[in-house]
Amino acid sequence: MKETSLCYIEKDGCWLMQHRVRKKNDLNHEKWVGVGGKFEGEESPEECVLREVLEETGLTLTSYRYCGVITFRSDKWEGEHMHLFTADGFTGELLKDCPEGELVWVPKADVPKLPIWEGDRIFFEYMEKCRFFTMVLEYEGDMLVHHEEKIYC
């Protein structure tokens, strides 16, 4: 299982979304996701999210919250433990050229209308209203076939 972090940064009623259009063989190709990536060395989830956000956006997080851990299982891709964060404070200027894709501030109400993973639709529901949660998402190809969650509200 690979270990990753993912962060949804909030500003003025919008989430900073990344439209993944730049990398070939990207399991997220053409999807809209938050900002994040793989752990390096012995990083903690917090160290990983801070580094990834800075690398991909140019922003330094000053206020963020650890929301949960999502376990991905797939018949096509390597398993993953994703450490999910939200952030509402940052400094710096947004990069104009992100190596992963296009960065766009998307109104929260519009995010479900974007091509996002079906499991993301489920965890978005818990991100803002729960203190912490864990979730298992099982995919066959791009199709979500099973999910379960444990909520700590």
**pLDDT one-digit tens code per residue, 41-57:** 999 999 999 999 999 99
Q: What is the pLDDT at residue 1?
A: 92
pTM across the whole model:
0.92
Residues of the chain with pLDDT under 70: 20-30
pLDDT the model gives residue 111: 93
DSSP E strands in the chain: the ranges are 2-11, 14-19, 32-33, 35-38, 60-74, 80-91, 102-107, 132-140, 143-152
Q: What's the confidence (pLDDT) of residue 101?
A: 84
Please state the CATH superfamily assignment of the domain spanning residues 2-152 in this structure: Nucleoside Triphosphate Pyrophosphohydrolase (3.90.79.10)
d(CA 81, CA 49): 13
Going by C-alpha positions, the residue among 142, 102, 147 that lies closest to residue 126 is: 147
Contacts of 113 (CB under 8 A, 6+ apart): none
DSSP 8-class letter at 117:
-
